[in-house]
Structure 1
Amino acid sequence: MANQPIFILPEGTERYSKRDALRMNITAAKVLAGIVRTTLGPKGMDKMLTNSLGDVTVTNDGATIMREMEINQPAARMLVETAKKQEEIVGDGTTSVVVIAGELLAKAEELLDDGIATSVVVKGYRNATAKAVEILKNIAIDADDEETLKKVAVTAMSGKGSDYAKEHLADLVVKAALRIKEDGKSDIDNINIQRVSGDSVEDSFLAEGIIIDKAPLSKNMPKDVEDAKIAIMKYPIELKDINTDAKIDITSPDQFEMFLKQEEDMIKDLVNKVVDSGCNVLFCQKGIDDMAEHYLKKAGIMAFKRVKKSDMDRIAKATGAKLVSDIEDLSEEKLGYAGHVYLDKIFDHELTLIEECENPKASSIVLRGSTRYVTEQIARALDDALGVVAATIEEGTVLIGGGACEIDLVKQLREYGESVSGREQLAILKYAEALEVIPRTLIENAGLDTINLIADLKAAHEDSPFIGINVFDGKVVDMKDAGVIEPLRVKIQALQSAGEAAEMILRIDDMIAARNALNSTGPDESGNDASGMPPMPGAGGMGGMGGMPPMM
């Protein structure tokens, strides 16, 4: 009995503990970082992703790549969630946060192999992150003019398929963000990017108002309304569904005619409520049936159905209309106003424009491009640019890009590390070393001489904190003069998120999975798992932890 194993976990449960679990998670993080690392910077490469339906996505946007890959390995998925949060909060820096986190974990692994305790590494990293944020704030410069905002937008879009038109697109982004600026902030959810295939990216423009990807219900409805009084409703203008168990006994043609007349009167009453409010343009989030369409057309009302909630919100912001949930509440006070609402055709695409709003709090960019793939890729670049411009408007401070701020961070963190006693110093110095991954990757992706250029950068930073690498000509230059600028908030968020993700993974010393919980990422015939991660020694793939001995 003394040597009989005691099972405390259900049969089939898989477990890896201590260094095996940690090494597995660190390797997963490094593999993920390696996948997206080649996309970083103006000279970064693209990834072609194909899903199970055969849909193809070509992009170098880190968030899109990780979302489309459908990664299932738990530690790698934690980094994916970190990148998503980075995008939600500041709109850019998703690739950087994963690359930095992967490098922090790689350096932590070296420390652990040298016998440094995990708790010491975690504490050192935490202190180094706090110091790095302090350093970034000290080297940041003020940015509150339109020209600087354009440089921020251009930097964010570099290498994302829009280089030949980035100056024009940056101008659109900045104007759109400033147009909706309110109380020192720009809510980019109020900016709509409407993609229209055909013509060149340089034909993209900022609309004077809101654009809705809808045409009026009927060709016989008004297509051009001036002095528009706009209603936005969640309430459907259609007959309510009759319960499936309900029965209607009709015994004569007269009764049937009376039944149809009652239905028609009900629809008429609904339409009359719209007419009585003074509305001449109606946007409905729900359905509008054919009979209601007929009477709306007869009343001269321009009507739209099944309008997206996001569009309804933008219409409300721009026109001042109040969203009505019950048609009984519709009144003149709930209407919004626009000087001009009209249907327009761009290339072969029909769009409705809402213009001449008194105090618009929403805006639209019409993005042109030769194909759907082009407009999709550049729309992602515009999303990033809008995010960083909004962050800069709110924060009012920026950093110099091109690897300049990272090299300065490395320099100052090493000085800080030398002042710290004990083994924590080793963790801080490794943290500083890890941050070199950004300028090093920018140089590698440009196909330049990494060793010599990193050495030149470090030497140049003895004189100026603004020296970075121009990846287009391979020269070490003043990036402030070159106009390569990034928002302070994006860098701070990336460092904090990467540090937190690395700490979270380092603190895991056990992986326990229920039977088949990770089978979806088990190895295929080629030895790779479903997520594209290489197999771990003894783990049966990044997602699998088979072969576990009984827990005793």
Structure 2
Amino acid sequence: MTGIKGVPGENEERYSTLVNNAAAVRAICSAVEGTLGPKGLDTMLVGQQGDVIITNDGVTILEKMDVTHPAARLMIQVARSQQRQIGDGTTTATVLAGALVQEGVAQVTRGVPVAKVVSGMQTGIELAAASLRERSRAVQGLDDRELYRIAYTAGREQADIAKLVIQAAEAVGEAKLREEGYRFADSVLAHEEASSEVWTGILLGQKPANLHAALERRDARVLVLQDALEPEAVSEESLVTEAGFQRYMQLREQFRSSLGKLLELGVGLIASDRGVDPEAEQFCSDHGILVLQRVSRRDLLQLSEHTGARPVRRTALRKSAPELGDALGRAGHAAYDERLERVRVAQGHGEAYVTVIVGAATREAAHERSRIAKDAASAVQAAVRGGYLPGGGAAEMAVAHDLERMRETMKGMEGFGVAAVAGALRKPLSQIVVNAGYNPLEKVEELKAAQIAHGSDRLGIDCDTGQIADFLEAGIVDPTDVKIHALQAAGEVAAAVLRIHTVIKMKTLGDE
């Protein structure tokens, strides 16, 4: 791996900002790279109030760190982008970004113009992404054994989480996993009092307003209100007049009639994004109707999609029973789970939903297992959509060799940027080997020679034995989209860091 060498004389000042930024990036990367690979360890984050988080999730570490250096803060954006777009591979993306900066600075300080390095890096990343796509293997259905291995690897080798994620994937179906906008990771819920299970439905994060009502309903119709479950309001000024008071009583009478209509239609669950009138709450309690108030927008959307309900305003309650009935959804099961303090809804007549409930002994452990399960779910979805590649840095090593051969045929100084990408692609394997306790220089060269001799990207370094192994046969695989997006996001931030020539503090508001 190419290091950053000091530049004597006048060049020290010329490159001072670049080298300073590179040092800050290096410090950020050192905080997460020790967690990479099967032998990677956890990081303990300690807050000012004594709160503690123990994790090896890259984006969690970076977001919780106290970072002030502006270039270092750009690295956090890499992890956020990877988390937002893919949901897994945040540590890999960060390590790649740091390696690209390091390799790029090495080229710049040896005299290659920044513009040429950045242009070459962009070319190299495009070539690398194309090579990764060509090498990608497609998932052969949800029963493909590689899918479990992907969940197992992304789930940090926790077999129970991998099994839950695969079971949930089978329940929701391949079509749903491929659906644009659907995030499988959002189905994960961790709770310190829960038993791990896959619930083929949704869990709403509110207690019923009428807890003393019946806690379970079968074959219930569902009303989703984007409003309050209460009569239309009358201004306080109007109430002091006889006409205003009469109007108020008329509206309350209409509201009571609407409640009777809901009973007639067989409504068993009402979810409102605002408050609930006490009279309505009592009416629903008397007739065994579950009422949820101030439900989050996300939960209302899921409830609507799962049950087939059409969200309405309270003015819709004045419609005739058949018209109002058209807006109602239906669920075969709706019940309040006292242990989880959530309402379970299943067997909806709308879209299929699934919830992965991950149990843990403590709140801290529940949060960490939730992060692990979300990574596993994201990896499985990414593999279903874009296929998979040999993991453990093996595919990146093969692509690095492809870039080196392309570099030999290139003219112009952009070739130095391509060489920088090739060097950075070896960093994940190098770091995984370091974390496993082996010499990275020895193992990187050993694997490079083996891959060239066999013409295969399947070969990697077994972290238990240090020997060359067939990673596809061993089930060490990663989603293709995770690798490609990590490289592209890393490239964007690395280019931004390399282009910075001067750092200037902005004036604060109020300064003249």
What TM-score do the two structures reach when normalised by structure 1? Answer: 0.81
Secondary structure of the residue that 2:17 maps to in structure 1? helix
- Shift of residue 498, structure 1, vs aligned partner: 1.0
Match of 1:394 in 2: 385
User: Please, which of 419, 432, 450 is the counterpart of residue 460 of structure 1?
Assistant: 450
Match of 1:368 in 2: 359
Is residue 332 of structure 2 the alignment partner of residue 339 of structure 1?
yes
Match of 1:84 in 2: 80
Separation in structure 1 between the aligned mates of residue 374 and residue 82 of structure 2, nearest angstrom: 13
Letter in 2 for 1:304: L
Separation in structure 2 between the aligned mates of residue 179 and residue 312 of structure 1, nearest angstrom: 24
1:472–1:287 CA distance, 2 compared to 1 (3 A)? farther
Match of 1:502 in 2: 494
Separation in structure 2 between the aligned mates of residue 289 and residue 42 of structure 1, nearest angstrom: 55
1:235–1:37 CA distance, 2 compared to 1 (3 A)? same
Match of 2:90 in 1: 94
- Shift of residue 129, structure 1, vs aligned partner: 0.7
Matches within 5 A, 1:487-526: 487-515=479-507
User: Please, which of 210, 225, 239 is the counterpart of residue 218 of structure 1?
Assistant: 210
- Shift of residue 231, structure 1, vs aligned partner: 0.8
Separation in structure 2 between the aligned mates of residue 131 and residue 409 of structure 1, nearest angstrom: 9
Secondary structure of the residue that 1:84 maps to in structure 2? helix
Match of 1:284 in 2: 272
- Shift of residue 304, structure 1, vs aligned partner: 1.5
Letter in 2 for 1:506: L
Match of 1:537 in 2: none
Is residue 483 of structure 2 the alignment partner of residue 483 of structure 1?
no
Matches within 5 A, 1:42-191: 42-146=38-142, 147=144, 148-158=146-156, 163=158, 165-178=160-173, 181=176, 187-188=182-183, 191=186
Match of 2:7 in 1: none
The alignment covers a number of residue pairs equal to 487
Query: Contact 2:172 / 2:352 at 8 angstroms: preserved in 1?
Result: no
Matches within 5 A, 1:8-19: 19=15
Separation in structure 1 between the aligned mates of residue 34 and residue 26 of structure 2, nearest angstrom: 13
Letter in 1 for 2:151: A
- Shift of residue 278, structure 1, vs aligned partner: 4.2
Separation in structure 1 between the aligned mates of residue 293 and residue 179 of structure 2, nearest angstrom: 35
Secondary structure of the residue that 2:140 maps to in structure 1? coil
Secondary structure of the residue that 1:513 maps to in structure 2? coil
1:186–1:483 CA distance, 2 compared to 1 (3 A)? farther
- Shift of residue 228, structure 1, vs aligned partner: 0.8
Query: Contact 1:237 / 1:271 at 8 angstroms: preserved in 2?
Result: no
Stretches of structure 1 lacking an aligned partner (at least 5 in a row): 1-16, 252-256, 518-552
Report Cα offsets for 1:363-421 as digits up to 9, x if no partner. 111111111111111111111122222222222x2111012101101211111111112
Matches within 5 A, 1:246-265: 265=253
Report Cα offsets for 1:148-198 as digits up to 9, x if no partner. 22222112112xxx6253442343343355277176668126853232214
Letter in 2 for 1:391: A
Separation in structure 2 between the aligned mates of residue 142 and residue 293 of structure 1, nearest angstrom: 53
Separation in structure 2 between the aligned mates of residue 496 and residue 173 of structure 1, nearest angstrom: 30
Query: Contact 1:179 / 1:361 at 8 angstroms: preserved in 2?
Result: no
Secondary structure of the residue that 2:200 maps to in structure 1? coil
Separation in structure 1 between the aligned mates of residue 66 and residue 84 of structure 2, nearest angstrom: 19
Separation in structure 2 between the aligned mates of residue 220 and residue 22 of structure 1, nearest angstrom: 65
Separation in structure 2 between the aligned mates of residue 164 and residue 133 of structure 1, nearest angstrom: 31
Separation in structure 2 between the aligned mates of residue 187 and residue 262 of structure 1, nearest angstrom: 45
Query: Contact 2:395 / 2:457 at 8 angstroms: preserved in 1?
Result: yes
- Shift of residue 108, structure 1, vs aligned partner: 1.4
Query: Contact 1:26 / 1:105 at 8 angstroms: preserved in 2?
Result: yes
1:29–1:191 CA distance, 2 compared to 1 (3 A)? closer
- Shift of residue 119, structure 1, vs aligned partner: 1.1
Query: Contact 2:329 / 2:349 at 8 angstroms: preserved in 1?
Result: no
Match of 1:227 in 2: 219
What TM-score do the two structures reach when normalised by structure 2? Answer: 0.87
- Shift of residue 118, structure 1, vs aligned partner: 0.6
1:179–1:356 CA distance, 2 compared to 1 (3 A)? farther
Q: Considering fraction of residues, name the structure with more helix.
A: 2
Matches within 5 A, 1:373-388: 373-388=364-379
Separation in structure 1 between the aligned mates of residue 308 and residue 378 of structure 2, nearest angstrom: 25
1:65–1:472 CA distance, 2 compared to 1 (3 A)? same
Match of 1:422 in 2: 412
Query: Contact 2:184 / 2:378 at 8 angstroms: preserved in 1?
Result: no
Secondary structure of the residue that 1:360 maps to in structure 2? coil
Separation in structure 2 between the aligned mates of residue 437 and residue 263 of structure 1, nearest angstrom: 70
**Mean Cα deviation higher: 273-282 or 115-124:** 273-282
Report Cα offsets for 1:201-221 as digits up to 9, x if no partner. xx4111122222334322332
Is residue 351 of structure 2 the alignment partner of residue 351 of structure 1?
no
Letter in 1 for 2:300: M
1:259–1:297 CA distance, 2 compared to 1 (3 A)? farther
Query: Contact 1:180 / 1:186 at 8 angstroms: preserved in 2?
Result: no
- Shift of residue 453, structure 1, vs aligned partner: 2.0
1:360–1:472 CA distance, 2 compared to 1 (3 A)? farther
